[in-house]
Amino acid sequence: MNARGLSGLLIVSLLLARVAGASSCLAWPGEPTPLPSRDDPDALRGLWAELRVQELVAAARASESAAPLSAQRLWRHVQCLDPSNRTAAAGLERTRVVAVARPPIVALRKPALEPAEAVAWTDLGAPLRVRVALPTASRKAPRREPPAWDARAADAAIGEAREQLQAARFEEALAAAEQAREKLAGAGAAERRRRDVELDVLTATAQLALGRGDAAQRSLGRALAADPELRLEPSRTPPKVLRALEQARATRRAGEH
């Protein structure tokens, strides 16, 4: 295409764009036709456009939270009346049909003052301060007498955790395992060891099902610390768990060397 053809195409494109822009700037009911703009050569129509912009900006701001897409209509109309209005451009960004926020996650390891009350919609992307549980060893809990050791109650609690796991209720299985562990308090080392290992494996299995690979590795690491020769029955154990156990064993060996 030669230069003349190219410039002709450019002019046609500009004209089409102008027509498209104009068609989206129709007067609303009760407004003067054709729709004036702030730089209208007619001063009175220009004044109307200026005042109308102020009115629409106030209405758009008022409805932005509760009805963002109604506000989008208002912001677009403001742009028709005042094409260079920056407030409208920013408003259109805020009132898009789909908005995506990705709040950064901040771990809180000890209680901290929460920031001032959140603003419902503008804070969707603000940092999320999430409490994480402290390791049990570092908690300074008041000294309590351990409950009397009850092997039957402990085994029943472990059975409950196992049932939850078999029913694929993984969160419940984790909670039941935690409760069962509490029932091991007061048990002798020998009585406790086997049950602790079983609970660690149960916990790891649930964690793997929930996609918490790192947590599962920690659970299996504890199990291996209690029983370095731990072997799981391949016919009754998901391959994912068997692989995770071998990985934990490898990590443990690497740590020993």
Partner 1 sequence: MRRIGVMLVWLAALVAPACASKPPTPARVRLELLQSAALMSTLTRPRVDILLDVTRSMGAQSNAGPEHQAAARRAAQRLVGALPAGTQVRLHGLGMQEEACGTASRVAEAEVARGDGVLLEQIEAMRSRGEASLAAALLGMLETREVLDEARRVVAFTDLGSECGGDLCAVAPRFAARGVRLDLVVIGDAEVPACLLERLDLPDTAPPAGIAPIRSVRFHVETELAPGIPLVSCGEAGAGPLTLPPGRGVLTVELDPPLRLERNFSPGIDLVLQLVDFPAADPPVRRWRWQAMPEAAGAGETDGG
Q: Which two tokens stand for residue 206?
A: 């649930």
Say how far apart CA 42 and CA 13 lie, in whole Å. Answer: 29
| Cβ distance to partner 1 smaller for residue 24 or 179 | 24
| Cβ distance to partner 1 smaller for residue 106 or 151 | 106
Torsion over CA: 33, 34, 38, 41 (sign) = negative
| Cβ neighbours of 235 (radius 10 Å) | 5
Examine residue 105 and tell whether it contacts partner 1 (CB under 8 A): yes
Minimum distance of partner 1 from residue 108's CB (angstroms) = 9
Examine residue 214 and tell whether it contacts partner 1 (CB under 8 A): yes
The interface region with partner 1, picked from 4-12, 19-27, 193-201, 233-241 by CB under 8 A, is 19-27
| Cβ distance to partner 1 smaller for residue 193 or 212 | 212
Cβ burial, residue 175 (10 Å; 0-12/13-18/19+):
middle
Q: Which two tokens stand for residue 106?
A: 């901040």
157: Cβ contacts below 8 Å, ≥ 6 apart: 176, 179, 180, 183
Binding positions for partner 1, 146-175, rule CB under 8 A: 168-172
Single residue of 17, 39, 112, 121 touching partner 1 by CB under 8 A: 121
The interface region with partner 1, picked from 7-15, 129-137, 138-146, 229-237 by CB under 8 A, is 129-137
Say how far apart CA 220 and CA 243 lie, in whole Å. Answer: 11
Single residue of 45, 192, 193, 249 touching partner 1 by CB under 8 A: 45
| Cβ distance to partner 1 smaller for residue 16 or 151 | 16
| Cβ distance to partner 1 smaller for residue 62 or 112 | 62
Examine residue 14 and tell whether it contacts partner 1 (CB under 8 A): no
Binding positions for partner 1, 59-78, rule CB under 8 A: 59, 62-63, 65-74, 76-77
Examine residue 28 and tell whether it contacts partner 1 (CB under 8 A): yes
31: Cβ contacts below 8 Å, ≥ 6 apart: 52
Examine residue 252 and tell whether it contacts partner 1 (CB under 8 A): no
Q: Which residue type sits at 49?
A: A
222: Cβ contacts below 8 Å, ≥ 6 apart: 196, 200
Q: Is 245 helix (H, G, I), strand (E, B) or coil?
A: helix
Q: Which residue type sits at 136?
A: T
Minimum distance of partner 1 from residue 29's CB (angstroms) = 5
Minimum distance of partner 1 from residue 161's CB (angstroms) = 15
